[in-house]
Structure 1
Amino acid sequence: MSVYVIAPPAIAALQIKGSTQTFPVRRIFCVGRNYAEHAIEMGSDPTREPPFYFAKPADALVVNDADMPYPPASKSLHHEMELVVAIGTGGADIAVADALKHVWGYCCGLDMTRRDLQNEAKKTGRPWDMGKGFDHSAPMGALVPAAGIDPSKGLIELRVNGKVTQTSDLSKLIWSVPEVISNLSHLVRLAPGDLIMTGTPEGVAAVQRGDVLEGIVEGVGSVRTRIV
């Protein structure tokens, strides 16, 4: 039995709807610009360029409708509402036709972004890590098992203080959930506990302290947090 020189970190986990069990989270992968309208609003070409990815640390999770602290070093915190895929069976070089067999469940998530830091990193050709992977940057709702859920269609929407800011449909994903899983599995070996945030539709915008964010994905559930 290993003896650590410091206390090991707690395991990040998602609650499971209707269960006392939780889903341990290993890694959080995020797909960039996966809705055409969002690609356009970010100044990019919405054609089917190969998917690209960035990551958030597992301990960036904010769960159980907890508050999200406004992050330091930023004056432009943006919301990005997303469908999240939870991998239950790992693998590499997964075929598109087999991809959904590797999914344990789905949930709603927010890819919170320090847009000013991200934009500065883009201009200088530097990594986005501090714009995307900061503390508390991944609020997520309860996970639901995959059985009976069709990730190819359904309303995805975010309200800020009761006002709709993002609304679209999963059918508008440039790269579908099975395609994303397959593509990512050719870059890394996926493992149980990995999460994939599948991209955000148009309408991303800045939020302030005191704002309440409430998002839904039809047939999956919801996510809620308050910026403090």
Structure 2
Amino acid sequence: MGLRPVQVNVKAVHDAVVARFWADALGWSLFRPGSTAYVGPVGDFVWPDPVAVGINVIPVPEPKPVAKNRVHLDLATTSEAHRAALVARLGALGARPVDVGQGEVPWTVLADPEGNEFCVLEPREIYRDTGPVAAVVVDCAEPRAMARFWDEALDWTLHEVTDDQAVFRSAGGAGPYLEFVRTPDVKSVPDRVHLDLLPAPGDDRAAVVARLRALGATDLDVGQGDVPWTCLTDPEGHEFCVLSPS
């Protein structure tokens, strides 16, 4: 009954602008399968993608709060020249540098056209085969507690857990990592970016959700109404959705 991360949801006032930015930033395709804009690997529309974690941009009326998002993307690079060129290209697409208190670091912190933060990493061997998205990164207070919950919730493999981070990746060793990283700040506003998780084919969503509640998840009402997914939060309040099995 393990869940698979299939997309990162990003709320945006100007969803078409944000979706186009991320498609161009990653070199991926932009699709309009319904009321949202989906960004996925180049080619025909395939959902869920067998390897990548896509980006689903949802139109909302409220602008992003000033507070830093607690979920962001890290982008991979293969060399310092690649990183410099990517940062320059992202700036031309509408990204801007932001200071989130990172200090002197070897990576570059940027924000998309609506202020959603992300990082362009320096070359790292661990991310050599992830594709353009190296990792989905979640701020947290207790990585070990997050490891316990998410190791039971996901069908991904827990690669590392320390006092500072917990690291997951798909069991097949493909696509991006999912990283829970200790940060001093606490959640103060609803999540602007969150994960959507897909049960395995044949699993019952209600049974999956009941199991997550038993593990410490809490029901969440964001005004979603009657929809074919369930909104929850993990034990630290990170929002996520459990979709209906495909």
Q: TM-score, normalised by structure 1?
A: 0.24
So what's the TM-score if we normalise by structure 2? 0.23
Which has the higher relative contact order, 1 or 2, with Cα contacts under 8 A spaced 6 or more apart? 1
